[in-house]
Amino acid sequence: MARKIAYEVLRRVEAEGAYASDVLHTELGAGVRSDDAALATELALGVLRWRGLLDFLLERSLKKSVARLDLPVAIALRMGLYQILFLERIPARAAVNESVELVKRARKTSATSLVNAVLRRASAEAKEPPEKFLPPGISTATRLAIVHSHPEWMVERWLARFGEPQTISLLKADNRTPRLSCSLHHSERRDEILDGLQESGLHLEPGLLLKTAFAVTGGSPTRTPAFKRGDISIQDEASQAIPLLLDVQPGDRVLDLCAAPGGKTPTLARAAGNNGLIVAADRHAHRVRVMREQFKRLALPTIRLLELDAAHPLPFGIEFDRILVDAPCSGTGTLARHPEIRWRLKPAQFSELNHLQSDLLAMALNQLAPRGRLVYSTCSLEPEENEDVVAETLRRFPNVCRVSANEAASSISTHLTPGVDAKNLFDDAGQFHTMPGVYQTDGFFAVLLEKKGKQ
């Protein structure tokens, strides 16, 4: 069961451009045993993370590119080799046999002998470090790209920007299974909610960044009464931190401009209270429907949902006190959680995203009230999508400025776990950064902007 599910996830990711997390959510229904769900998730995401290294090792035997194989054969080889290299609890013989069976079920019987031979050779070499098979004289970027399974162009960018030690740390973080972090929605009932989760069989660990966050192992939080009641949500800790930067006050008019799937909006809505106005918008109707279900689960009926293309002038007759622009981005800060992104992304896309993000931010600033505040954020590590967008926007809007690093840090400091210094999360320009691996979060960027008051 687990291997069939993992195979289908990988097939849809490659053939249809689907996202693995979305397919897993669909495939891993209530009828799937928890151990099968765990193995299917490990196989699908593990193969995607390590695809570059797997293909490099497979091609030593194939003598041709894995990309030239029929897709079912390529997936079966990758799944088999991943199990041999990374899942010690699965005997190599079982991994080989299951991969052969996958090829047979896909009606590629002629490839069974190839799959069997290649994986048996790989099994014999499994204890050897990958570095042993690297060609001599390759560059640092090529070596790191192969060993840590990332595109070489991406590694080159990060080496130039971060240097080798930090790049290696980042590459390693991308290949670790991320913490399953959750947000707690009712802090006054904290002990009751956490006790109930433990009674459901989950193991809990405190948040590393935020007081209201916690991490879960040993099962799925979505199957618990606490999740169904709306007491908790699954959300990365850095993502949870972004709406806190706005420091929404009771009665504020708040716009969440690129809100789907709706993880950040509840924090804004609760802070604004019953007398506030909360508008959550997204350009896709199906994502608006997802948000509607999310807010229903969380008992937040007062959030007003809107389908709109925010890259064009906005249809509001009012100005907002607080605006969140969590912009569509490359997602290079989420490669552990969404490993397929590393194989799809092309360098030319950064320029395209920069134009879209700049348009979104400009439209939002036009709707911001004097002395109002706006957070622009992405889950990207790339300057084209972050610092460059902000710098360009500040040139276009002389009546907008960054909030100072000290003031931005003060907006979030009370929410941080003991021992975390808010100032360490901001650069000298007052821009918020998290790097994968530091607090076991995704990589996020954010900046708090303020519109100057009318004279």
Q: Residue 82 and residue 90: Cα distance in Å, rounded?
A: 11
Q: What is the CA radius of gyration of the chain?
A: 23
Q: Name the DSSP class of 330.
A: -
What DSSP designation does 404 have?
A: P
Q: Are 294 and 270 in contact (CB under 8 A)?
A: no
Question: What is the three-class DSSP state of 296?
Answer: helix
Q: Which two tokens stand for residue 347?
A: 């360098």
The one catalytic residue among 182, 258, 329, 379: 379
The length of the chain, given as a count of residues: 455
Q: Which of 205, 323, 222 is nearest to 264 (CA)?
A: 323
Cβ-contact 449, 374 below 8 angstroms: yes
Cβ within 8 Å of residue 375, ≥6 positions away:
242, 243, 245, 246, 323, 324, 325, 326, 446, 447, 448, 449
Torsional class of 361: left (φ above 0), alpha (ψ -120 to 50), beta (otherwise): alpha
- Measuring CA to CA, which residue among 55, 79, 57 is closest to residue 67? 55
Closest to 373 measured CA to CA, from 244, 232, 219: 244
Locate 438 and state its tokens.
């530091």
Active site residue 379: yes
Catalytic residues, by residue number, are 379
